Amino acid sequence: MSDRVFADRVEAGRLLGKRLETMGPFERAVVLALPRGGVPVAFEVAQKLGLPLDLLIVRKLGAPGQEELAMGAIATGNALVYNDRVLRGLGVSVEEVERVTSKERAELERRERLYRGDRPTPELDGRTIILVDDGLATGSTMRAAITAIRQTRPARIIVAAGVAPPETVAALGEEADDVVCISTPSLFMGVGQWFQDFSQTTDEEVRALLDSAWNKEAAPS
C-alpha cells in the first residue's frame, strides 16, 4: 500500500507508464483516456509504451429523480449497457429510458466532435485496452467504461490510475483483467488531495494532447 503524492498528472502518467512497461510487451494494444483529467495521464502512458492514444467518453444514464443512481451507461463506439436490476427496482418506463439515453447520447456526441473532430473511433475487437484516469474514488465511471468495452470483445482490459482507495482497486479487479494503481492510500478523502497540482484539465489542453499524439502516429517512421 502506498500513500504517494504526485506533483501533477504528468508525473502520475510517467510512473504508470513505467509500471505498465513491466507487464508488456503489448501487442495490438491501445491506451484509452477518460477525459478530461485522464488525458494528460494517458498521454504519458502512451508515450512511454509506444502505443496509440484515444478517448473513451462515458456518460452515465441517471435514473429519473435519482440522477446519481446509474441505470446504465453509454460510451464511445455506440456501446450501450443497462442495469436491469435498477430498471426493475425503480419501474422505469421504456419511454423514460429512451429519453435519458437520447439526451446523454447527444452530449456524448457533442464531446466526441469537440475532442475527436472527424477522426474515427478505434477498432477495439481483439485488442488489449488500457483504460486510464488520473484517479478513482468509487470507481463507478470506470466500472461503466469496463462494461461498455466488454461489448467490443477486447482481448484484455487493464485499468490504470494514479490513485484510488484499496477497496476500489479490489472491486475493479473483479471486473478488469488487471488493475494498476500507483498510490492506494487507506485514508482517502478525494483524488485531488494526492496531487500537488490538480488544476482542471481544459478542453483546449485535451485537444492539444490528442493532436500531438495523433500527429506522431501519422508521421512517417
218 pLDDT higher than 80:
no
> According to CATH, what is the number of the domain 59-116?
3.30.1310.20
Burial of 84 (0-12, 13-18, 19+ CB in 10 A): exposed
User: What's the pLDDT tens digit per position in 180-195?
Assistant: 999 999 999 999 999 9
Between CA 105 and CA 122 the distance in angstroms is 18
pTM above 0.85, yes or no: yes
With bands split at pLDDT 50, 70 and 90, how would you rate the model's confidence at 221? Answer: low
* pLDDT at site 171: 94
Q: What pLDDT is recorded for position 188?
A: 93
Residue of higher predicted confidence among 150 and 39: 39
| Torsion sign, CA atoms 44, 50, 55, 58 | negative
- CATH top-level class of 9-55+123-215: alpha beta
Q: What is the SS3 assignment for 82-117?
A: ECHHHHHHHCCCHHHHHHHHHHHHHHHHHHHHHHHC
For the segment 117-143, what is each residue's pLDDT rounded down to a tens digit? 889 888 999 999 999 999 998 888 898
| pLDDT per residue as tens digits for the range 113-123 | 999 988 988 89
Q: Residue 151: its pLDDT value, please?
A: 87
> In which residue ranges of the chain is CATH 3.30.1310.20 found?
59-116
Average pLDDT taken over every residue of the chain: 92
Q: What is the pLDDT of residues 25-75, one digit of tens each?
A: 898 999 999 999 999 999 999 999 999 999 999 988 888 888 778 888 888
C-alpha cell at 74: 453509454
- Does position 1 have pLDDT exceeding 70, yes or no? no
Question: Pick the residue with more confidence: 76 or 203?
Answer: 203
> Once rounded to an integer, what is the mean pLDDT over residues 3-20?
97
Kindly report, as residue ranges, where domains of CATH 3.40.50.2020 are found in the chain: 9-55+123-215
Asked whether residue 3 carries a pLDDT value surpassing 80, the answer given is yes
